[in-house]
Amino acid sequence: MTTPAPVHTSKKEEAMKNLLPPTAMSRRGFLALTGAVTLTASVSACAVGGGNASASGGSTVKFWDMPWGDKNYSDAAQSLAQAYKPGDGMPGVSYQQVNWDGFNQTFSSAIASNTGPAVSTGGGFQAFQFAKQGAISYADNLIDSFKKDGTYDDFLPHTLDAMKTSDGYVGIPWNLDVQVFWYRKSILDQIGATPPQSWDDVLDVAKKASAKGYVGFGISGGSGNYGPMAVLSLMINNGGGLFNSNGDLDIVNDRNAEAVDFLTELVRQGVVDPGSVSMKDDDLTTLWTNKKVALGFQSPAFNNVVGDEKDVLVTDPLKSHRGEVGGLYYVNNIMMYKNTPSQAGSEAFTSYYIKNMKTLWQKGVMQGLPALKSITELPEFKANAQNTAVVEKWQPICKTTAAQSSALTAKLATIDGGQAMTDFCQTVLAGKTPSKTILTKLESDIKAAIS
């Protein structure tokens, strides 16, 4: 195993570079991003007013969106927004793209000064954060309309529930980031292995691949969020997680310790790259692209990211040592704000966007899974067979960062992508500290962060 090879310009890698955001953390991490970035600097220069910006003569509904896919995403999303035709008396819409760098500061500053959006995409827990601050307009009326017209039944299982709080729905699910287990078929063929079905299989296959000079188990603990997500995926896989069913922190337990012990064993067996503690997410992706990694957790459509649709494939959900199955996923959502020229206008546009967003997957510009079942049945989506495997095998058994609770809260914005999870992952990858000691420190750090 070696450190990441130099990046050589190739069609595949150019395509990979163009995928935004560069790390999974960027899609969901919220408070972890540091550095003061002004609103002007964080808003994409390509942001322009929508085609209906002056429709109906009133103020417009400002829709802020993030870069969710490849280099063609922003044009496709802008076209979708501009195709919105408001009804009589309803405001038009303007589209503006916000960069991931400093997006927390961008939204916070704009909302504090009443210059923010009326509708937006954003970090996975952003809606909960701003709901706590009183800035979110709950989506219950829109949900009720979805129940009447049948759209409600089109959402994938549990996705709408993830948006529900005691005060109402903070947002509408639109795309999902499922952490699934990938393998490179050509490496497994070379070492005479079959796709792993269990943790024992993972160790066995990874050892064989490592013996041939490959990275047996790919994970990155440096900048980004791939590493913490992989560790948390294994904890949930084993029936553990960060919380108990009542929503209280419950980190120091046997299930989590077994997951940490498993990962520590992978490190001790030498199947994890020695540089993983500080490896950046982008460098791990480069290793995959250069055909150096046999196994590892990644997001949906990762085979498209590395340009190997036929060789980088999804396994079935893994069985832990306890025989449990499970995984981690994130429900990215569209949220509405109280600062709007028309709440009815915000709801009308959000409804339109949800019901017409299939075009983003038809154009192939999205990496995440759609939240609507009807889109997963489109031929364009099924053209990548791994997409179907993720929808059918992984999404139904996955839980959110709140596991083993089902309630998402604002404090998850602090935890996800935060320093406590990064330190935790790096300590695990160092392979020298007992699991209960590591978990005790994680629980203490998270308590301090959310207090």
DSSP-assigned letters across all residues of 296-308? EEE-TTHHHHTT-
Q: Tell me, what amino acid is at 444?
A: S
pTM, to two decimals: 0.83
Query: How many angstroms separate the Cα of 294 from the Cα of each of 188, 194, 393, 431?
Result: 7, 11, 21, 20
DSSP helix/strand/coil, 264: helix
Q: Which pLDDT belongs to residue 19?
A: 37
Q: pLDDT (tens digit, 0 to 9) for every residue of the chain, 451 residues total?
A: 333 332 233 333 333 333 334 333 334 433 333 333 334 344 543 333 344 443 333 489 999 999 998 789 999 999 999 999 999 999 999 999 998 877 888 999 999 999 999 999 998 899 999 999 999 999 999 999 999 999 999 999 999 999 999 999 999 999 999 999 999 999 999 999 999 999 999 999 999 999 999 999 999 998 778 899 999 999 999 999 999 999 999 999 999 999 999 999 999 999 999 999 999 998 999 999 999 999 999 999 999 889 898 999 999 999 999 999 999 999 999 999 999 999 999 999 999 999 999 999 999 999 889 999 999 999 999 999 999 999 999 999 999 999 999 888 888 988 887 899 999 999 999 999 999 999 999 999 999 998 8
Q: Which pLDDT belongs to residue 55?
A: 37
Q: What tokens does 253 get?
A: 């337990």
Report the residue count for the chain.
451
Q: Which pLDDT belongs to residue 292?
A: 98
Q: Which pLDDT belongs to residue 71?
A: 83
Q: Which pLDDT belongs to residue 57?
A: 39
Q: Which pLDDT belongs to residue 28?
A: 41
Q: Is-contact 197 316, C-beta < 8 A?
A: yes
DSSP helix/strand/coil, 429: helix
Query: What one-character DSSP code corresponds to residue 43?
Result: B
Those residues whose C-beta lies under 8 Å from the C-beta of residue 14, and which sit 6 or more positions away, are none
Residue showing tokens 């025989």: 323
Q: Which pLDDT belongs to residue 147?
A: 98
Measured at the CA of 259, the angle between CA 302 and CA 193, to 5 degrees, comes to 55
Residue 390: count other Cβ atoms within 10 Å of its Cβ: 24
Q: Which pLDDT belongs to residue 417?
A: 77
Measured at the CA of 276, the angle between CA 101 and CA 412, to 5 degrees, comes to 45
Q: Tell me, what amino acid is at 154?
A: D
Q: Which pLDDT belongs to residue 70?
A: 79
442/448 Cα distance (integer angstroms): 10
In 3D, which of 339, 370, 346 has the Cα closest to residue 356?
370
Query: How many angstroms separate the Cα of 83 from the Cα of each of 52, 94, 284?
Result: 8, 11, 38
Those residues whose C-beta lies under 8 Å from the C-beta of residue 73, and which sit 6 or more positions away, are 20, 67, 360, 365, 366
Does an H or E element contain 109, and which? helix 103-112
DSSP helix/strand/coil, 224: coil
Q: Which pLDDT belongs to residue 47?
A: 38
Residue showing tokens 């819409």: 93
Q: Which pLDDT belongs to residue 83?
A: 97
Residue 194: count other Cβ atoms within 10 Å of its Cβ: 11
CA 174 to chain CA centroid, Å, is 12
